[in-house]
Amino acid sequence: MNELKLTDKQFDLFRDFVYRESGICFNVINKIILESRIASSMKERNLDKVEDYYKLVSTNKEELKTFLDNITTNLTKFFRNEPNFKLLKNYVLPRILKTKKLGEQIRIWSAGCSTGEEPYSIAITCLETPGIREQDIKIFASDLSLNSLVAAKEGRYDAHKVENVPEDYLKKYFDKLPSGEYAIKSNIKKLITFDYHNLRHRGSQTNMDVIFCRNVLIYFDTESVKLTVNRFYDILNEHGYLFIGHSESLFGLDTKFKFNNIDNSIVYTKN
């Protein structure tokens, strides 16, 4: 049972703050989530007053990071929305490969990578694509949840987390540990650079061939989606591709991206 009830004023304060710092929108429907996360953080810090906690998170950068980490939803799974990975392998990567000069790498960004299942699925899909070798790929994976990033870098997953991974991939790309967990093999890990990045701010990413930003924009309002997606447009190469979540859409947003529905998968390209 959640003991903390934010007054309307307190809720507005936190809601506006979260939005400014992350682009994530809380509304009265998910207010209870915000209340429970604030309550547990206050308890851990022996704070009684909501205003004191607000002062802490709004003035201390480390506390802000922890707070944002606590309020994110990190649900993910391997090969989530499988048609995206089929399209990546059968359509996107072969086309990108043709644009590359000898020795030039394919650059892919998993933006909002959570605990790593998405970038590892991308890495495996790349290696399963004819003509692509380890040295041909560079994957960047970022999130604002530090806890998720630690788990992603670790790359160890309980057996139930790898249920979606085909048996032959499990044998090829994972080591089964005595604990029953599955660990991503080191040659896959080294294809990925994990980094903290808040999509609210401009990052250092450039010249991407593919961007995956799936099930992240759903927490943003229209303005933040537009800002984020326009940045993606600028950093994608001319022949670049953008994958967003199954339940997300750029419809009506007036972005320069072109909508494509190919083999049951939606992918956005530059005009």
Ligand X SMILES: C[S@@+](CC[C@H](N)C(=O)[O-])C[C@H]1O[C@@H](n2cnc3c(N)ncnc32)[C@H](O)[C@@H]1O
**Interface residue list for ligand X (CB under 6 A):** 22-24, 72-76, 80, 112, 114, 118, 143-145, 148, 198-200, 214-216, 219, 245
Cβ atoms of 188 and 198 within 8 Å: the answer is: no
* Minimum distance, C-beta of residue 224 to ligand X, in the bound complex (Å): 8
Q: How many whole angstroms separate alpha carbon 242 and alpha carbon 43?
A: 41
* Minimum distance, C-beta of residue 112 to ligand X, in the bound complex (Å): 3
Between residues 32 and 218, which has the closer beta carbon with respect to ligand X?
A: 218
* Minimum distance, C-beta of residue 198 to ligand X, in the bound complex (Å): 5
Helix (H, G, I), strand (E, B) or coil at 73: coil
Contacts of residue 157, defined as CB under 8 A and 6 or more positions apart, other chains included, come to: 117, 181, 182, 183, 184
Neighbouring-strand partners of residue 192:
139
* Minimum distance, C-beta of residue 22 to ligand X, in the bound complex (Å): 4
Between residues 119 and 136, which has the closer beta carbon with respect to ligand X?
A: 119
Between residues 136 and 184, which has the closer beta carbon with respect to ligand X?
A: 184
Q: How many whole angstroms separate alpha carbon 128 and alpha carbon 121?
A: 10
Between residues 136 and 189, which has the closer beta carbon with respect to ligand X?
A: 189
Q: What tokens were used for 74?
A: 């990190």
